[in-house]
Chain A
Amino acid sequence: MSVDKETVKRVARLARIAVTDEEAASLQGELNTILGFVEQLNEVDVTGIEPMIAVIAMQPRMREDAVNDGGKAADIVANAPVREGNFFVVPKVVE
């Protein structure tokens, strides 16, 4: 599998990363090297082997249904570049 320059630019846009044409060309090379390496892994026969999710077989921790967090609106918006009261303020986005 390999990617062309258009794919690189599309993926960049989906990730909201600004990429110039020159950068896209060089990223294309880097990504194709990585994809080529990953492709090598396909040579290993993994028939009948469950994908390993975690090194130690374990169950996810669960929390009880209790409210024990929140009430810290000032902290939540503390680093917001713009705020109004305890709202975040962002450039208008509307359908």
Chain B
Amino acid sequence: MNEAVRTKKPSKLIRGATGDWEVVIGMEVHAQVASNAKLFSGASTEFGGAPNDHVSLVDAAMPGMLPVINRECVAQAVRTGLGLKAAINLRSVFDRKNYFYPDLPQGYQISQYKQPVVGEGAVEVDMPDGETITVGIERLHLEQDAGKSIHDQSPTMSLVDLNRSGVALMEIVSKPDIRSSEEARLYLTKLRTILRYLGTCDGDMEKGSLRADVNVSVRRPGEPLGTRCEIKNVNSIRFVGQAVDYEARRQIEIIEEGGTIDQETRLLDASKGETRSMRSKEEAHDYRYFPDPDLLPLEFEQGWVDGLAAELPELPDAKKTRFIAGHGLSAYDATVLTAEKETADYFEAVARGRDAKLAANWVINELAGRLNREGKSIVDTPVSAAQLGAILDLIGENVISGKIAKDLFEIVFAEGGDPREIVEKRGMKQVTDTGAIEKVVAEIVAANPDKAEQARLKPAMIGWFVGQVMKASGGKANPQAVNAALKAKLGME
């Protein structure tokens, strides 16, 4: 355990009744491998499906069935390892992890214990205050998912569906390098981003493609690690934060009242925001791992790994660095734009040959904000990158003002169409003809002599006139030209 890796930050400490406490967090994230077929059988991994429809005799553990590994699942694990800047083990071993549960027909889970396919790596996490923390990766191993038990159909019986049984999971184990609930949330967010860039896991937490076991302990700053509790199967990023906050508080209270922490497995009750003990698991911890005699050690060549490395996409950290250096974006904008690969691609399409900062503003503020309100993602945006690019071009050419551009964006968002044509057809071009603007200014000033008098004394009043002129022009007057004309007319400056 690398207790000294992180320097203590007072702002991250939790104040208890008897002084400050530091929370120490490590996470085990289960990520479903993106593949067509399961880890050791040819049954489909597709979500849903009629009960037991995506099940082969291997997944149901019928006697005499033998597992044969899916090459693509191994490739996905190696790609993920490369994305986590981790050591790739050319030889790894599958073990049996033994326990009994109705949705585990084999009576054991095929997993990797002492020799995982991927070793140590690191994930860089950007914090909102500009700090970048490094969370060490301990290992990544391949294992089978279990089936699903449904408990709410009968008071005395449970239904079992094995569609998920045998689906490939990557268990990604972090070092205990995380020091706050915010760090825990952002670590999981970043890990999800990396997996989605790599295409090795879809990261869909609602479908259970990404689940986290969160290990939480507390200690006085500088002291050795405390006893940890493991909160199982947390299935949303927000819940990870909740689980850490509640669990740290619970442990601090127990210790401050003179008690000790029992090492145990707990469950998060998200509706109450509490964790509770999961006593039935305690005895099950004797897993009696041993190498699976049905499977030879997994071995591959460095050349194959190099081939996969050569085909990796640009990862979020590299893209972010390039957006800052190449496009002159702020670190914040670059982080927002690279959080999803689709957003980054969209931004790049809009920014090509245009003002990158303007493009970033429009993608982050107008487009993302609008999509958010509709509950849509960038993938189903009604405004294509080409359309948004055309709107920016119209601003750049001074054909429309920034304000009209927002109206135009709204029309394109709702109705589609070529922005340039829409401007032409609906007469949205801004008026830059100073003669025409001066004429409107003169009319409005003449109609409001009292306000004009006030404005001469109180220059802030000019805003009211700008508003009136813009209104009279249907919002099409160039705002700079209006300002200049008003100041001249009112004799200001």
Seen from chain A, the residues whose Cβ lies within 8 Å of a Cβ on chain B are: 14, 16, 53-54, 58-73, 75-77, 82, 84-95
Question: B53-85: contact bitstring with A at CB < 8 Å (1 yes, 0 no)?
Answer: 111111010000000111111100000000000
Which residues of B sit under 8 angstroms from A86, Cβ to Cβ? 50-53
Q: List the B side residues contacting A90 at CB < 8 Å.
A: 102, 149, 157-158, 160
> 19 extra interchain contacts, Cβ-Cβ under 8 A, other than A60-B297, A70-B53, A87-B52?
A58-B296, A62-B71, A63-B42, A63-B70, A65-B72, A68-B37, A69-B37, A69-B41, A69-B58, A70-B55, A87-B159, A88-B160, A89-B158, A89-B160, A90-B157, A90-B158, A92-B155, A92-B157, A93-B151
B69 touches A60 (CB 8 A): yes
Q: Which residues of B contact A67 (CB under 8 A)?
A: 36-37, 42-44
Chain B minimum-CB-distance residue to A65: B72
Q: Which of B157, B267, B297 lies at the interface centre, i.e. has the most chain A CB atoms within 10 A of its CB?
A: B157
**What are 19 contact pairs spanning A and B, CB under 8 A?**
A16-B100, A53-B297, A62-B69, A62-B71, A62-B74, A63-B42, A63-B69, A67-B37, A67-B42, A69-B43, A69-B58, A70-B56, A76-B52, A87-B150, A91-B158, A92-B157, A93-B149, A94-B149, A94-B158
Which residues of A sit under 8 angstroms from B157, Cβ to Cβ? Answer: 82, 89-92
**Which residues of A are found within 8 Å of B18, using beta-carbon distances?**
none
Chain A: minimal CB distance from B277 (Å): 10
Give B contacts to A, CB under 8 Å: 35-37, 41-44, 50-58, 60, 68-74, 98, 100-102, 149-151, 153-162, 267, 278, 280, 286, 288, 291, 295-299
- B286: chain A residues at CB < 8 Å are 14
Alpha-carbon distance between A77 and B53 when the two chains are bound, in angstroms: 10
List of A residues within 8 angstroms of B100 by Cβ:
16
Residues of A within 8 A of B149 (CB): 90, 93-94
- A77 vs B60: C-alpha distance when bound (angstroms): 9
Inter-chain contacts of A65 with B (CB < 8 A): 35-37, 70-73
Task: Give A91 to B160 CA distance when docked, in angstroms.
Answer: 10
Most chain A C-beta atoms within 10 Å of own C-beta, residue among B51, B73, B156:
B51
- In the bound complex, CA of A82 to CA of B159 (Å): 10
CB distance A73 to B51 under 8 Å? Answer: yes
* Chain A residues whose CB sits within 8 angstroms of the CB of B56 once the complex forms: 69-70, 72
Question: In the complex, which residues of chain A have a beta carbon less than 8 angstroms from the beta carbon of B55?
Answer: 70, 72-73, 76
CA gap between A68 and B50 in the complex, in Å: 17
CB <8 Å contact, B43 and A14:
no
Nearest-neighbor residue (CB-CB) of A71 within chain B: B53
Report the separation of the CA atoms of residues A3 and B295 in the bound assembly, to the nearest whole angstrom. Answer: 30
